[in-house]
């Protein structure tokens, strides 16, 4: 999503402290620039032992600052000038030593000096820890992380996995694309702060026998985009996903299911505890009464085996009838007469907002166009990438919500 220019107009100070994860900072700088940001790199002396200022300058097209007495600044106050220009300061990697400096207000080199001197009320500080697993787990480091959070610093990660020392565990710096998306999310308006959002996404698969089943072309991309957009907007998001091959959006709780009945059984215990339910999943209307235990074979007659079908539960309609129902948003994937079918579906399921789209035109695609239908009429969200539409839909839902009473 980097080519969406989600950071257009943002000026980011990217700080590098010492650590092998500096190699990821090169890709991070590239991703931030591709996302539309201008990037000013500031490095500690230790960081220059892992990656050169020349590399970072080439990737950002801006001179790199490595010490506080830089003669390029007429007033010799690079720590003041650079921090006043920034929309945010992101330190990646942030070593254990550098985080300790931040906690105690030490400022013995340009990067820690810049972080201390920044106008904290308008220039947020984000750090991406990177260190050995034992260093991360050490009580001193954990105390420092807690202190940073208490001071309003956003701590991004770390991740778990293989480490340069050969050990495995927590302490890896997040990947460049993950940090890019964390920064993008940080700047999104928190329209759903404090809200709990439950989303279904993807197709369902109704087994006929051990190797065959009934499903559809839904890729789940729209539902996953909405989950990401809702989380970016500050919501606590639970995503019930049918069989899709998509990565889970950051900080989203995911429950994987296969069939419509499994999706129903996953949603129903959760629905009343959520403020919003968004049913984007393309749930199969019918399923075989019973799946065959063995593969159904051709018998030479030229006729398919008779398969008795039964209707699946209507998850959206059932949730909409709950005594303590969330604000319900339905989706209608149609092949024709979109407005008429969307209006009929909204009235039949008694939901306040129905979102229509033409399924064959959008299944598996990265773009979509949506039609919003409510009791007052309808309006279109024109063709755009699915994350853009998801953010627009989340903003629309936020305007319709009353303050939570629970």
Phi, psi of 329 (to 5 degrees): -120, 120
Q: Which domain holds residue 254?
A: 196-400
Do 34 and 179 sit in the same domain of this protein?
yes
What sign for the dihedral angle of Cα 362, 363, 365, 371?
positive
Number of Cβ atoms within 10 Å of the Cβ of 65: 23
Mean of pLDDT values over 197-217:
93
Say yes or no to pLDDT of 2 above 50: no
Give ∠ CA 221-227-229 in degrees, rounded to 5.
100
Q: Could you tell me if residue 343 is inside a domain?
A: yes
> Tell me, what CATH number does 235's domain have?
3.40.50.10300
Mean of per-residue pLDDT scores for the chain: 91
Residue 301 three-state SS: coil
Phi, psi of 153 (to 5 degrees): -80, 135
Q: Which residues are catalytic?
A: 165
Contact 140, 100 (CB under 8 A): yes
Phi, psi of 289 (to 5 degrees): -55, -40
Output the pLDDT for position 1.
Answer: 42
Domain count for the chain: 2
Do 18 and 65 sit in the same domain of this protein?
yes
Residue 145 three-state SS: helix
Say yes or no to pLDDT of 185 above 80: yes
Say yes or no to pLDDT of 57 above 50: yes
Q: Could you tell me if residue 405 is inside a domain?
A: no
Do 382 and 245 sit in the same domain of this protein?
yes
Output the pLDDT for position 304.
Answer: 84
Do 174 and 241 sit in the same domain of this protein?
no
- Name residue, tokens 């402290």: 17
| Burial classification of residue 195, based on how many CB atoms lie within 10 Å of its CB (0-12 exposed, 13-18 middle, 19 or more buried) | buried
Do 51 and 148 sit in the same domain of this protein?
yes
120-144 pLDDT tens trace:
999 999 999 999 999 999 999 999 9
Percent of all residues in the chain with a pLDDT value above 70, rounded to a whole number:
95
pTM value is 0.90
DSSP state at residue 56: H
Give which of 30, 64, 74, 59 is closest to 44, Cα–Cα: 64
Q: Which residues pair with 154 in a beta bridge?
A: 126
Contact 220, 202 (CB under 8 A): yes
Q: Indicate the length of the chain as a whole number.
A: 406
């Amino acid at each position: 999503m980097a080519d969406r220019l989600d950071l257009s107009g943002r000026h980011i100070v990217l700080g590098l402290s010492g650590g092998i994860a500096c190699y990821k900072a090169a890709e991070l700088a590239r991703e931030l620039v591709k996302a539309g940001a201008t990037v000013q790199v500031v490095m500690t002396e230790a960081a220059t032992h892992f990656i050169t200022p020349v590399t970072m300058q080439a990737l950002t097209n801006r001179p790199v600052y490595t010490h506080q007495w830089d003669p390029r600044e007429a007033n010799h106050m690079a720590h003041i000038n650079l921090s006043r220009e920034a929309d945010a300061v992101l330190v990646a990697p942030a070593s254990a030593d550098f985080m300790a400096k931040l906690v105690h207000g030490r400022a013995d080199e340009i990067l820690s000096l810049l972080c201390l001197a920044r106008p904290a009320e308008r220039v947020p500080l984000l750090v991406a820890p990177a260190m050995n697993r034992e260093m991360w787990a050490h009580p001193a480091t954990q105390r420092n992380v807690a202190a940073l959070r208490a001071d309003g610093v956003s701590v991004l990660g770390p991740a778990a996995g293989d480490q340069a020392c050969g050990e495995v565990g927590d302490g890896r710096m997040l990947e460049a694309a993950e940090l890019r998306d964390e920064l993008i999310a940080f700047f999104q308006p928190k329209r759903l702060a404090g809200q709990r959002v439950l989303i279904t996404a993807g197709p369902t698969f109704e087994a006929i026998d051990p190797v065959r089943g009934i499903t559809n072309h839904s890729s789940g991309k729209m539902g996953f985009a909405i989950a990401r957009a809702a989380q970016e907007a500050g919501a606590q998001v639970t995503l019930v996903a049918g069989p899709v091959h998509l990565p889970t959006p950051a900080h989203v709780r995911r429950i994987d299911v296969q069939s419509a009945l499994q999706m129903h059984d996953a949603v129903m215990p959760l629905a009343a505890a959520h403020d919003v339910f968004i049913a984007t999943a393309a749930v199969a209307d019918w399923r075989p009464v019973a799946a065959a235990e063995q593969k159904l074979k051709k018998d030479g007659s030229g006729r398919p085996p008779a398969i008795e079908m039964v209707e699946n539960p209507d998850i959206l309609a059932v949730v909409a009838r709950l005594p303590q129902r969330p604000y319900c948003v339905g989706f209608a994937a149609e092949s024709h007469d979109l407005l008429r079918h969307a209006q009929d579906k909204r009235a039949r399921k008694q939901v306040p907002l129905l979102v229509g789209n033409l399924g064959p035109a959008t299944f598996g695609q990265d773009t979509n166009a949506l039609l919003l239908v409510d009791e007052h009429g309808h309006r279109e969200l024109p063709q755009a990438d699915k994350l853009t539409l998801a953010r627009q839909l989340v903003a629309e839902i936020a305007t319709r919500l009353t303050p939570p009473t629970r």
